[in-house]
Structure 1
């Protein structure tokens, strides 16, 4: 049974990224889907005091394998603005998009599919732009499969955040210590119910370059391989716990 829900499409965009904005807005206009622009945070404009106020350096050293760059922090803060918009406007959910994306024709049916999800959820993944992750189909919704993950796919270019999900995330972040897309993978730690709608209807265009890397190249940040290996193991265990809880409640 479909529900009547209040929802919006939120597009995160830097004010100077006009080419990206023209590209994404043109696509959404062609699909006949209304949208709202969220003014993204620009990492180069963040002061050291602003960065220090939102980053937990000691926790990052314990629980992630490198220190976040200003661009990654700005990206996370931009998503926080989108989540706060959901809460401020008391939306049932919002489709949160980054601006360097392209859509399949099925994206126009995404609201109808979301309205048919009766399972409690906080995040619905609509894209896996970097690496596919194994998914377990729970049921079919129109032309989509509603799936669960042991490890949600990385990438935050397109995900649906429910009101409950926005509240839960905002209660825990900041402080920040992982990139946004890695953080969402820790579904058990954050108390999130993460699903996906397959086939994915959104992809990263991979054509405009990275705004994050234009602030500071995270590939140049010192990394700690053994710490990364430890966190990968802990993330695997986090996914096992999330899967066990899902199986217990269904």
Structure 2
């Protein structure tokens, strides 16, 4: 299975370190040049793009879009994307190959998470890892895999950056996408490396009491919608698995 590492051209030390780490695991990867958000013409993103995103967030988002496009252009049945600040488990490829062989209509599977993984279990792999349909935000895009059909659906549904890429994938259910998360993770963030993304969306302003109250009620309403949507999706997936058996 093809592995890509998204890496800024100027981040040579990270590039060398991640390729060395993967080689120690017996893995090869192709560097996927990351998009420099500061060089992006915001007008080219179209009127639906979120103007409040930082340059780092835009670059990160478009780098992942480039990954999906590459998978489609090369017609890769499955592929893995890694960010360049991760540590991978030796079980990574065994897990990825098992997931790829599943008769389950997933679009992407997140192989890492920055927050505790909570949701509805779908199945258990041979090593005891579980695929969970999250109903809480796992956050992070340090590592995930896509199918060819999934890459196409991701491009159709979320190619325009309307928020940070990890927040958008957290809200997969809004777009009719199937994006389980693996638990426990087989890829973790290297805490010794600082993030290359600065100025998170919504970090400036918007802290008046009325706005905080409005955001609170909006989050509560979204959480209820998410629970229902994820429950129904999990029921369909379990029925699919039962029928396949």
User: After TM superposition, is the score higher than 0.5?
Assistant: yes
Q: Deviations over 1:156-188 (max 9, x none)?
A: 111111112211111133432111000011222
Aligned counterpart in structure 2 of residue 73 of structure 1, from 25, 33, 58 = 58
Q: TM-score, normalised by structure 1?
A: 0.83
2:233 corresponds in structure 1 to: 245
Q: Pairwise mapping of residues 131-210 of structure 1 onto structure 2 (< 5 A)? A: 131-143=115-127, 144-210=129-195
The 8 Å contact of residues 187 and 239 in structure 1, kept in 2 or not, is answered as no
The answer as to 2:98 corresponding to 1:121 is no
Q: Deviations over 1:72-91 (max 9, x none)?
A: 01100000000000000111
Aligned residue number for residue 204 of structure 2: 221
TM superposition shift of 1:52: 2.7
* Alpha-carbon RMSD: 2.2
Q: Residues 231 and 24 of structure 1: is their aligned pair in 2 closer, same or farther, counting only changes over 3 Å?
A: farther
CA-to-aligned-CA distance 1:84-117 (integer Å, 9 cap, x gap):
0000011112111111101122224233322332
Q: CA deviation at 1:56?
A: 4.4
How far is 1:244 from its partner? Answer: 1.3
Distance 1:241 1:41, change over 3 A: same
1:241 Cα deviation (Å)?
1.0
What residue ranges of structure 2 are gaps of 5+ in the alignment?
A: 240-245
Tell me the distance in 2 between the aligned counterparts of 1:164 and 1:101.
26
> Normalising by structure 2, what TM-score?
0.85
2:220 alignment partner in structure 1: 233
**Aligned residues of 1:186 and 1:239 also touching (Cα < 8 A):** no
Question: What is the distance in 2 between the residues matched to 1:93 and 1:222?
Answer: 41
Gaps of 5+ in 1: 1-6, 62-66
2:7 counterpart residue number: 13
Aligned counterparts, 1:81-100, within 5 A = 81-100=66-85
Tell me, what secondary structure is at the counterpart of 1:211?
A: coil
